[in-house]
Amino acid sequence: MAERPYVIDQMISAKAIAARVEGLAREITAHFRGTDKLVVVGLLRGSFVFIADLVREIDLPVEVDFLEASSYGDALHSSREVRILKDLRGEIASRDVLIVEDIIDTGFTLHHVKRMFEAREPKRLEVCALLDKPSRREADIRATWTGFEIPDEFVVGYGIDFAQRNRNLPYIGKVRFTDGAA
């Protein structure tokens, strides 16, 4: 299958992202103040850049773990079927846990992951998402902290990909297809 031609229009600058990450980290630090260790769980793969920047700004002892879940594959739209491709290495029972997500779209993946984590009985469980598209929400889920609310656009950059490309962009950009097809 031939790749559709597209361009990327910058939506959120690297500077704006860095400033917001600092603000989120301050709020998260205040919320979890007093914890002996915060388990920060990145949802792979899109959150890896965000989680790296975020944990460096959180002023608490942290442990980092990852879970890989997918409902997209290489598609533009969610399949609504959540698959766990890599589970946590550590235990979260009776621990303070922060789930870090790149983008909340339909909410199916995060809803599934949060319910799975709740069953493991953490002490506290919160969610931080870099991006939120509330107009696309189909599952009843909200992040405790959100970096940016965005319109219903397909975005890439800062760890977020389109068919495994564009993760390395330092900003968030909107994908605009140039072949005229929807």
- In this prediction, residue 100 carries a pLDDT of 98
pLDDT of residue 130: 98
The reply to whether 34 falls in a domain is yes
Within a domain: 5: no
130 occurs within a structural domain:
yes
158 inside domain:
no
Going residue by residue through the chain, which has 182 residues, state the pLDDT in tens, using 9 for 90 and above. Answer: 457 899 999 999 999 999 999 999 999 999 999 999 999 999 999 999 999 999 999 999 999 999 998 775 555 555 567 889 999 999 999 999 999 999 999 999 999 999 999 999 999 999 999 999 999 999 999 999 999 999 999 999 999 998 889 999 999 999 999 887 65
Q: Is the peptide bond before 45 cis (omega within 30 degrees of 0)?
A: yes
> 79 lies in a domain?
yes
Question: Amino acid letter at 157?
Answer: G
CATH code of the domain in which 117 resides = 3.40.50.2020
Nearest Cα neighbor of 101 from 152, 41, 148 is 41
**3-class secondary-structure state, position 94:** coil
Q: What residue type is assigned to position 127 of the chain?
A: V
Eight-class DSSP state of 2: P
Active site positions, annotated? 105
- Does the pTM surpass 0.85? The reply is yes
pLDDT value, residue 83: 84
Amino acid at 45: R
Q: Would you say residue 85 lies in a domain?
A: yes
Question: Containing domain of residue 41, as a range?
Answer: 13-152
Closest CA to 41 of 120, 108, 149, 106: 120
136: in domain: yes
In-domain check, residue 160: no
Indicate the number of domains in the chain.
1
